[in-house]
Structures are given as C-alpha cells and as structure tokens.
Amino acid sequence: MDEPLIARGLRRTTLPRFLLWLAPWAALLALGAWAIFLCFAEGLNQTNMDNRFAFGLWIYLDLTVIALGAGAFFTGFLLYVLKRKELRAVVNSAVVLGFLCYSGAILILMVDVGQPLRAWFTFWHPNVHSMLTEVTFCLTCYLLVLAIEYAPVVLRSRKLRDLLSLLVLEHQLHKVMAVFAAVGTFLSFFHQGSLGGLYGVMNGHPFSYRASLGIWPSTFFLFILSAAAAGPSFVLLTTWVVSKLSRKELVKPEVLRFLGKVSGWLLLVYVGAKGVDSLVWLNATSPRAGVSPASFYAYPSFGTWILFLEVVVLGLVPALLLVSERARARTGLLVLASALACCGVALNRFVQTIQTQALPTLPFDAFLSYSPSWQETAAFLFVVAYGVLVYSISFRYLVLFPEERELAKG
C-alpha cells in the first residue's frame, strides 16, 4: 500500500504489520501525552520531586539520553572531520538517534521547568555563571545542527527527491556537512562537560563535589569522555537491535567492530580517569571537607557495590572486551560489551543524579528515598515511545543504512 514511499530496493514488512508494531508505542505516547498535560495543567505537584529532591527521573533521563546521543556527534566527527569513510554506513542512523535523544531531552526539560511559554527567558536573561545556561544554549544550538543534519536524510526520501529544488538543497547541504559536524563536536564537548560540571561544583553535596582542573571540576571531563565512549556503543547496539528486529543485514560486520574499537579505547581511558578521580575524591577531596568517604556508602540502597558495578562491571569489563580484537570478532561479545558500556553510562548518570540527592548533607538530614510518580514515569515513557515511533518510521521510509541494499544482494 505504501510501497511508493519506501526507498527502491529496501525490503520492508507489510503496512498492517508495521502499524501493529507502532500501535503499542502510540498507546504509550498517548498515555505520556496525558501525563504531560497534567503536569502543565496542574503543576509539578503531579511529581514526587520536592525541594530537596529537585532532580528526579526526568533529569536522569535527560542526562542518559544526551550521553547516549553523543553517538551522533562522535560518528559525524569521525566521518566528516577524521574522514573514516566506513562510518558512512551508520551516520544517518546515528544522526536520527542523536536528534531523537536531544529533542526528547529538551521536551522533557520543558515539562520539568513547567513554563514552556517562558523558555525564551533563558536566552534573554542568561546567567552566564551558571553551567545550566551553557547547557541550555548548547543543547538548543546542537538540536538545530542535528535537525540540519537530519534534513538531507529526509530530503532524499523517495517522494521528496522528486522536488528537484529540495534535492539540490540536500546536495549542497551534504557538501558543507563537515562544518556542521565540527560545530556539533564543539557544542557537544561543552554541554556534555557542563552537565558533568553541574554536579562537580555542588560543594553542598560532598558526594558529587570534585576538585577543579582549571576552571572546571573533574566531572566536566569525565562526562565528555564517558559520553564519547558510550555514544559509538549505542550506535552499535541500536544497529544490531534494528538488524535483528527487521531480520536484515544493515551494515558490514567491520563497521560494528570499528565502532566497538573506538568505544572500547575511549572507555578504557575513561575508566582510568574515573579511577584516578575516585581515588582523589575518596582520599583527599572528601576528607578535606570533613566527610568520611565511608559515609557515602553506608546506606543499604547504595553500598560500595554500586561503585564496583559502575566502574568495574559496566566500565572496565566492557572496555577490555571492546579493545580485544578477538572479543570484537565475536558478535555476541561485541554486542554484550556495548550494552554493558551503555548501561554503565546510564548508571553513572543515575548515581550522579539520584544518589547525590538521596544522601544526607547535614547532621540532621535523613537518607531520602524517592520513587517517581506515575506521571513522571509516563512522561519518561513518552520520550521512549516518541523515539521508537520516529525511528521506526524513519527506518521504513528513509535510507538510514546506505549499505543495506547492497548487502541484501549477498
């Protein structure tokens, strides 16, 4: 029925089956839209956040998807700036993923701030000393860059390419893509860093406070490194998942292995830096602030196991697997290591956001627990459903993996 819209040579499932796949996600989207409406209409009393637990599920989601979305800037940087041509096979998909991650993050941030109509205030009255101002400016600019990078993929679709003027615009945009890739890299470095810096400067929270390197706390650099490491793993993982779900070979195995290799080495550097940072923090920064490092892990929910899990199981282990050529050669291990790396960055953002606020900071404070309300959870799922829906539609009608046609021939 919709064959004339599908790029020639791509084999896709029938329209009814595709709609059946979309249906549950659309239902989830509708539920999330209702929850978001409630938050806008009734206010943040719909959430379980309060004055002490000001960051909840939504900020955790933002930090995680922005870290995973780093695959877009890093793939673009490797392809257009460092000329790693083999990544042409995944760059379209990486751009779509990046766009979805960033647009989803901004959308949920709008709900969190609660006054979307006043969003422009942050640009008109910026507090230039705030990390969040830098984050807001960078996110907005980078979303614009991602939209520009996404546009050529859409303009090359089977129907739109008949509009010659748009196709010519796409051709010219493609020629200057290196500039957008470089700008995206610049912006990503700073907003990933500032998101980490945000926690590192909170000297009222000894758990997250870190010593500074220059004007930035160490978390500024750790967030950049961890996002750059997890981004390619996320692109690898999604490519593999889409390939399995669609039962099609989308890219050559070498491309996935290259992504794994890049991710692995960056992750290894990150784990090393994180290790040094943790030792300095536990042995110097915290004692200097009069806090015993043992107190950070004195509560049952967040024992030392969480640090071990984050740094060793979800950091060192996938890093060693991904840098090993023999492990990379086995698809199962490659995918497992990538999944562990993505979980590692998600856990790091969880620890930074949730554990930081849960731990008491004053003698009379108690350990605080937080669990999201259904509205928060539904809004979270809204972003997930939005991502799945837009990616599925893009996969069906756009060429996200240019090698797919050739690989289908065997």
d(CA 156, CA 171): 9
Q: How far is the CB of 97 from another protein (least distance, A)?
A: 21
Measured N-to-C along each axis, helices 88-113 and 57-68 cross at an angle, to the nearest 10 degrees, of 160
Q: Residues 61, 382: contact at Cβ < 8 Å?
A: no
Q: Does 410 bind another protein (CB under 8 A)?
A: yes
Query: Cα 67–69–71 angle (5° rounding)?
Result: 100
d(CA 372, CA 101): 21
Q: Does 85 bind another protein (CB under 8 A)?
A: no
- Subset of 293-332 contacting another protein (CB under 8 A): none
Q: Does 167 bind another protein (CB under 8 A)?
A: yes
Segment interacting with another protein, rule: CB under 8 A, options 175-183, 276-284, 314-322, 339-347: 175-183
Query: What track of x and - describes contact with another protein for positions 349 through 388 (by CB under 8 A)?
Result: ----------------------------------------
Amino acid present at 261:
K
Q: Does 99 bind another protein (CB under 8 A)?
A: no
d(CA 268, CA 282): 21
Using the rule CB under 8 A, which residue among 2, 3, 42, 254 binds another protein? 3
Query: Which C-beta is closer to another protein: that of 205 or that of 405?
Result: 405
The whole-angstrom distance between residue 332's C-alpha and the CA centroid of its chain comes to 23
Q: Residue 310's closest CA among 320, 318, 299?
A: 318
- The residue count of the chain comes to 410
d(CA 47, CA 374): 8
d(CA 239, CA 331): 12
Segment interacting with another protein, rule: CB under 8 A, options 4-12, 68-76, 329-337, 352-360: 4-12
Query: Which C-beta is closer to another protein: that of 144 or that of 320?
Result: 144
Using the rule CB under 8 A, which residue among 150, 180, 234, 380 binds another protein? 180
Q: How far is the CB of 280 from another protein (least distance, A)?
A: 27
Segment interacting with another protein, rule: CB under 8 A, options 24-32, 61-69, 168-176, 218-226: 168-176
The whole-angstrom distance between residue 49's C-alpha and the CA centroid of its chain comes to 23
Q: Residues 141, 119: contact at Cβ < 8 Å?
A: no
Q: Residue 71's closest CA among 155, 170, 146, 144?
A: 146
Query: Which C-beta is closer to another protein: that of 184 or that of 344?
Result: 184
Q: Does 254 bind another protein (CB under 8 A)?
A: no
Tokens 């637990």 appear where? 53
Query: Which C-beta is closer to another protein: that of 129 or that of 326?
Result: 129
Task: Give contact residues for another protein (rule: CB under 8 A).
Answer: 3-4, 8-9, 123-126, 128-129, 133-134, 137, 141, 144-145, 148, 156, 161, 164-165, 167-173, 175-176, 179-180, 183, 186-187, 402, 405-406, 408-410
